[in-house]
């Protein structure tokens, strides 16, 4: 069973629809006890980092996420919260991956970064199996993760940033695979294969 973390952050319908299209058994939950039973966890998110962290703390899911050794896939805000902190709030986040999130410079261009973008660099990782650097994924975000040793996929909009990150059992993607047509479906299937 795959657990989808529910922390009032929206877009659960798109994630659960995507899993249904892939014929996967899933539970939407905010209970750490339920997360314990899952083989893998999808950590979605649209919304504000500060209120998302508050909601996670309220159900002690922040602690669960920090301590788990199960495969975790963060989507969009879910990915961002894996890092140490963000200018959104600003606030401290889970800190399982080093790095601080910054806001795109609105002087340089339109924010949010909204639409389909590909990769400037893509390293080998089981999550990206069968996905090419020129495959497009759908993005909507105003804050971005820095490139570092855990970056698997790099993207560029106004500045280079991490679009796919992985450290041990933690993985995150800045885009919305559940809204990214066939390449997105492939990525979700890759995650399920790793679980």
User: Active-site residue numbers?
Assistant: 76, 176, 178
Counting Cα atoms < 13 Å in the Cβ hemisphere of 5 gives 31
For residue 21, give both structure tokens.
């299209």
Provide the mask over 12-51, with x wherever binding to other proteins is found by CB under 8 A and - wherever it is not.
-xx--xx-xx------------------------xxx---
Give, in order, the Cα–Cα distances in Å from 35 to each of 40, 43, 55, 94.
8, 11, 16, 17
Query: Using CB under 8 A, which of 83, 99, 184, 190 touches other proteins?
Result: 184
The region of 23-31, 79-87, 134-142, 167-175 touching other proteins under the rule CB under 8 A is 134-142
Q: Which is nearest to 177 in space by CA: 124, 126, 139? A: 139
Q: Interface with other proteins by CB under 8 A: which range of 10-18, 35-43, 53-61, 167-175? A: 10-18
- Phi, psi values for residue 2, rounded to 5°: -105, 130
Cα–Cα nearest to 74, from 14, 146, 140, 4: 4
Of 96 and 173, nearer to other proteins (C-beta) is 173
Instruction: Give the interface with other proteins as residue ranges (CB under 8 A).
Output: 10-11, 13-14, 17-18, 20-21, 46-48, 106, 109-118, 136, 138-141, 156-157, 176, 178-182, 184-185
């Amino acid at each position: 069973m795959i657990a989808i973390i529910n922390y009032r952050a929206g877009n659960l319908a798109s994630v659960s629809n995507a899993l249904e299209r892939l014929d996967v058994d899933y539970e939407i939950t905010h209970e750490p006890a339920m997360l314990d039973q899952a083989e893998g966890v999808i950590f979605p998110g649209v919304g504000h980092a500060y209120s998302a962290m508050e909601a996670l703390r309220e159900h002690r899911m922040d602690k669960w996420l920090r301590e788990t050794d199960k495969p975790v896939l963060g989507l969009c805000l879910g990915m961002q919260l894996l890092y140490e902190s963000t200018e959104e709030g600003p606030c401290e986040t889970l800190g399982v991956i080093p790095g601080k999130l910054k806001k795109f410079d609105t002087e340089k261009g339109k924010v949010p970064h909204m639409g389909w973008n590909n990769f400037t660099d893509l390293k080998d990782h089981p999550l990206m199996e069968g996905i090419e650097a020129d495959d497009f994924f759908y993005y909507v975000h105003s804050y971005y993760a820095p490139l570092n040793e855990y970056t698997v996929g790099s993207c560029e909009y106004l500045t280079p940033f991490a679009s796919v990150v992985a450290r041990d059992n933690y993985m995150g993607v800045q885009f919305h695979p559940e809204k990214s047509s066939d390449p997105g479906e492939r990525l979700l299937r890759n995650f399920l294969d790793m679980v």
